[in-house]
Structure 1
Amino acid sequence: MPRRLLPVFFGLWFATQATFAADSARTVEVRTKPGAPWRTENVRLLADLPLPPAEPVPLDRLGGDARVPLHATGFFRVERAAGGRWWLVTPDGHPWYSVGLAVVKSTSGRSAVVREALREKFGTAANWAETTTHDLRALGFNSLGAWSETAPLRAVARPLPYTLVHNFMGSYGRKRGGTYQLPGHTGYPENAIFVFDPEFERFCDEFAAARLPATRDDPWLLGYFSDNELPFRSRTLDNFLRLPADDPGGRAARDWLRVRRGSADTAPSADDRAAFLDHVADRYYRIVSAAIRRHDPNHLYLGSRLHGQALASEAVWTAAGRYVDVIAANIYGQWTPDREQFARWARWSGRPFLVSEWYVKAEDSGLPNTTGAGWIVRTQADRGRFYQHFALGLLETPSCVGWHWFRYMDNDPADLSTDPSNRDSNKGILDIRFTPWTGLTGAMRPLNERVYDLLGYFDRHGRDS
């Protein structure tokens, strides 16, 4: 039998739930990085909504709302309801909202502390997978985000739906040469991806052919992310123009500007930059989506996990909307969800979005919290307040179909083998010894359990409630 954390986990959770409920603070002190000044932000909590008493929602085997029958295809799909709400639809034909957790793994880089804790608490990776799946479902999570340890987690008796990252451009870049590691993502020369390389299209087809058939018939797979945080920037044209004359990207940019403006030496205008960014993004999504759909026509294409300047780019969202089923976005720097921005995304793309990364770190973890883009707050209870506050804003957004909290486990500061953005920070729902941060999880569970009730509430009472 697996060595279960459940009794300890929920004994701690119930104690913290009482603390969280009793502490009705509606403000949180927050800052952007260690040493930055603190400021005060308001929060809206689940308790602020006039909801009726919770009643169990019947769920299908994948976590969909079994009260609502929809067309079943045997795989996940998307559908826009008559009222404008976008839904993911389970293979069994019920509306589903993805409440997920990213990087659900039994190890963390080369951390000796994590490996020893794994042996002590679980014994084997299989026991870890069974126990973790049970515990995440008990916290109201229904899906696994990017970079999760899908092999053992998929093998459990009752798995969670999962996602996969295949890194088409990143993998091509490693084969081609010229890429380098940046915090959180791959770097490219002049921030210009290799989308105009003549070999890229064939590489994508061969890459997909080697990887996608293994999962193409799996109903538990939600879909694919094709890369992470590509540099779709407002001055992408300028970046490509700085490439050497014999580089395929530099040559393509000069030819494009020459056709558009009559000369490759013309200073680009704002309209030129937007049009070229659309050209780059369109080519990337067209090539990658064709490869994915050729070798797996069954699963959703979830995009390339947009971030930074791309989140404000009409050109990028419009291009993605031509090819992507659900557009993944990594959101940082927003304390309150920017619903005006979300409405623009929907207008530009005509597609729903999924928040593929978001988190907040707390000082009471004892970690330095110098890496990563998330906010810093004082306590784990403050992390819980932020979770409820931000999640409520996503739930009242009709084009949002879910979120994936980043991440399952904290970073081990002693492990320098990891990505530079994941070195010393309190991002997880667990510490590096698999102990839950109950101030956070005590706020996650009651909201996660009422996701379908909350979606109905916002749709009935207006999305500004």
Structure 2
Amino acid sequence: MSSFSSYGGDEKQKFHSTGYFRIEQTNERWWLVDPEGNAFVTIGVNHADETNLKYDHNFDIWKKKYGSRENWIKGLSKDLKDWGFNTIGWTGDYISGDWGVALDWFGDPINLGHSASWSAADYKHADMPYCLQIRVDAFEDWNGQPTYPDVFSHEFDMYCEYLARSICADHSESKNLIGYFLVDIPAWIRHASGRDFKVLQDLNEEERASKLFEVANKYYETITKHIRKYDPNHLILGDRYNGNKGIPEEVLTAMKPYVDVLSVQYFTSPNQEGYQQMKEDLGKWQKITGKPVILADIGNWCQTCMNPNRVSEIKDQSGRAEDYINSLNAVLNEPWFLGWHWCAHLENKARGWGIKDPYDEPYKDFIDPVEVYNKNVYKNLYQKA
């Protein structure tokens, strides 16, 4: 087992230190490098937020076990480190007001919104590596009422500057910040609602594809110049693309000069064919961009007591652990692979799966094998190299 740095990096694989997370490319592969100069594979957890412990069925657990957000965050940090995770990933989570439905598959959830973003003080309490979102605009593919900016307007430029300034102000000198994500699964492919960027409306598919590069190029150029103005120290991780739906080549080509990392969400089928498809898709997009890759969201699920309709080919929590290991082994040794962020922390009414059950107890049949895998990730990587 490797000797871990205070950030979760591998102290046996050294580079020069800069005091911030950065990227290094060797003859063998791309690496994230932690502020102390150690090789770092980001092993993160997404959707970690105390709102998942403030439903009617578990609010008393939050009060008795934690009683404050600071205590909950410190407990979360301890859990993640104990399980071999070293990064707090995407923290936002959907909040559903009803019982027994799962957002993506069943019923019509009562939408109570999304949890608020973590503050700079929250991340200081956690005291571990993290990623931030700069939500450029609300044109997510999951968003039923998307809004698209006029990326060529003066107003968009002014807004991006304000957004970067307001967010980067509290984080630009953080040693724990890895970098900034932008929009979560943005609808670069035409949205199901029919909404689109104004300059792309009423175009046929060929015309739209031709114009899309110009739109994406202006979008990335504008937001990234302002991020780098107010924070030259950290990485720009880019949009969290929806790998299962596909990513337009025009968008990938446009982002190439401006973004440091290709960030992709990918929920693979739990079999060898699915793992291979994920590997091929990520490799194809990586070749277009020339960027190292983070699996920004990957997860799996099975039937549970709270979510009996949430079924898949995976039958139980042990099967989930096996799929976790097999899916990541498929890409662990790819020279462009920087790590993964797992979906998600605690099972709730909407998403319907997690590392912990709805009553804040770990699914041990899942987390025990996962912990062993996480803590041996550097050893396994070097053995396969």
TM-score (norm 2): 0.84
CA offsets 1:256-301 (integer angstroms, 9 cap, x no match): xxxxxxxxx9x7464x443322222212111111111111111111
The corresponding residue for 1:201 is 157
Structure showing greater radius of gyration is 1
Choose which of 266, 286, 292 in structure 2 pairs with 1:331.
Answer: 266
Choose which of 112, 124, 141 in structure 1 pairs with 2:56.
Answer: 112
CA distance in structure 1 between the aligned counterparts of 2:155 and 2:33, rounded to whole angstroms: 36
Instruction: Report SS of the residue matched to 1:168.
Output: coil
How far apart are residue 309 of structure 1 and its match? 6.8
The corresponding residue for 1:61 is 6
The corresponding residue for 1:74 is 19
CA offsets 1:168-212 (integer angstroms, 9 cap, x no match): 213xxxxxxxx7xx78446436xx554344411110001111221
Instruction: Report SS of the residue matched to 1:99.
Output: strand
Instruction: Report SS of the residue matched to 2:258.
Output: coil
Instruction: Please say if 1:452 is aligned against 2:383.
Output: no
Judged with a 3 Å threshold, the aligned counterparts in structure 2 of structure 1 residues 346 and 183 are, in CA distance, closer, same or farther, namely: closer
Q: Is the 8 A contact 1:79 1:89 kept in 2?
A: yes
Q: Give the letter aligned to residue 345 of structure 1.
A: W
CA distance in structure 2 between the aligned counterparts of 1:132 and 1:440, rounded to whole angstroms: 17
Q: Please say which of residues 375-384 and 159-168 is displaced more in the overlay.
A: 375-384
Q: Please say which of residues 144-153 and 60-69 is displaced more in the overlay.
A: 144-153
Judged with a 3 Å threshold, the aligned counterparts in structure 2 of structure 1 residues 405 and 342 are, in CA distance, closer, same or farther, namely: same
CA distance in structure 1 between the aligned counterparts of 2:263 and 2:293, rounded to whole angstroms: 6
Q: Is the 8 A contact 1:367 1:424 kept in 2?
A: no
- Residue pairs, 1:271-350, within 5 angstroms: 272-308=207-243, 311-335=246-270, 336-337=274-275, 338-350=278-290
CA offsets 1:206-230 (integer angstroms, 9 cap, x no match): 1111221111000101111111111
Choose which of 347, 363, 387 in structure 1 pairs with 2:324.
Answer: 387
CA distance in structure 1 between the aligned counterparts of 2:59 and 2:240, rounded to whole angstroms: 29
Judged with a 3 Å threshold, the aligned counterparts in structure 2 of structure 1 residues 365 and 396 are, in CA distance, closer, same or farther, namely: farther
CA distance in structure 2 between the aligned counterparts of 1:376 and 1:185, rounded to whole angstroms: 28
Q: Is the 8 A contact 1:216 1:296 kept in 2?
A: yes
Q: Give the letter aligned to residue 328 of structure 2.
A: A
Choose which of 70, 83, 90 in structure 2 pairs with 1:139.
Answer: 83
Q: Is the 8 A contact 1:140 1:445 kept in 2?
A: yes
Q: Give the letter aligned to residue 81 of structure 1.
A: T
CA distance in structure 1 between the aligned counterparts of 2:358 and 2:121, rounded to whole angstroms: 20
- Residue pairs, 1:120-139, within 5 angstroms: 120-139=64-83
Instruction: Please say if 1:425 is aligned against 2:352.
Output: yes
**Percent of residue pairs identical:** 27
Ranges in structure 2 where 5+ consecutive residues have no aligned partner: 93-117
How far apart are residue 308 of structure 1 and its match? 4.8
CA distance in structure 2 between the aligned counterparts of 1:109 and 1:196, rounded to whole angstroms: 42
Judged with a 3 Å threshold, the aligned counterparts in structure 2 of structure 1 residues 202 and 387 are, in CA distance, closer, same or farther, namely: same
- Residue pairs, 1:219-258, within 5 angstroms: 219-233=175-189, 249-250=197-198, 252-253=199-200
The corresponding residue for 1:397 is 334
Judged with a 3 Å threshold, the aligned counterparts in structure 2 of structure 1 residues 135 and 269 are, in CA distance, closer, same or farther, namely: closer
How far apart are residue 126 of structure 1 and its match? 2.5
Instruction: Please say if 1:166 is aligned against 2:143.
Output: no
The structure with the largest helix share of the pair is 1
Judged with a 3 Å threshold, the aligned counterparts in structure 2 of structure 1 residues 322 and 449 are, in CA distance, closer, same or farther, namely: same
CA offsets 1:111-161 (integer angstroms, 9 cap, x no match): 1333321112223332322222122111110110012646565334x7210
- Residue pairs, 1:153-192, within 5 angstroms: 153-156=122-125, 159-170=127-138, 184-185=142-143, 187-188=145-146
Judged with a 3 Å threshold, the aligned counterparts in structure 2 of structure 1 residues 315 and 185 are, in CA distance, closer, same or farther, namely: same
Judged with a 3 Å threshold, the aligned counterparts in structure 2 of structure 1 residues 425 and 443 are, in CA distance, closer, same or farther, namely: same
Instruction: Report SS of the residue matched to 1:305.
Output: strand
CA distance in structure 2 between the aligned counterparts of 1:284 and 1:116, rounded to whole angstroms: 45
CA distance in structure 2 between the aligned counterparts of 1:269 and 1:211, rounded to whole angstroms: 36
Q: Give the letter aligned to residue 445 of structure 1.
A: E
Q: Give the letter aligned to residue 154 of structure 1.
A: Y
